[in-house]
Structures are given as structure tokens and as C-alpha cells.
Amino acid sequence: MSGAYDPDQESTNVTARVNDEFLDEFDRALKKAQIEGKVPMDMTRAEAIRQLMAAAIENPSLFAENK
């Protein structure tokens, strides 16, 4: 996802507060995706979040509640 972040372009630091358990679940899901070969082993949490943001831009229905 090279278009999501370019260190040569102006950027903004985005922060969000989540509880520790939620963050642990996210990190486990990322690690599982890495182990299963779905994402690169060196993918950082920040890059994963950037990819999720890019996916939401392309498909805003991702914001809909899961029922």
C-alpha cells in the first residue's frame, strides 16, 4: 500500500484510544495474518491501520455495523 503513506509528503499523526484487550486482539489478528502469509511478516501495526483506512476509502460500506 505505497499510496497510503509517503514520507516525502505532508502527513498527520492519527491517534485513537482503545482498551488494552482490544489492542491485544488486533495485534493477535495481525500476527495470525502474518503467520498465514496473508500479509508480510514485517508489517507494522501502523501499516496495517493505514491499509484498513485505505480499504474504507475504497469501500465505505465497511463502516456499516455488522449484524
Mean predicted confidence (pLDDT) in 36-61: 97
Separation of alpha carbons 40 and 60, rounded Å = 25
pLDDT digits 0-9 by tens, 16-41: 999 999 999 999 999 999 999 999 99
Specify the pTM: 0.80
Burial label for 6, CB within 10 Å (0-12, 13-18, 19+), is exposed
Q: Where are the domains of the chain?
A: 20-63
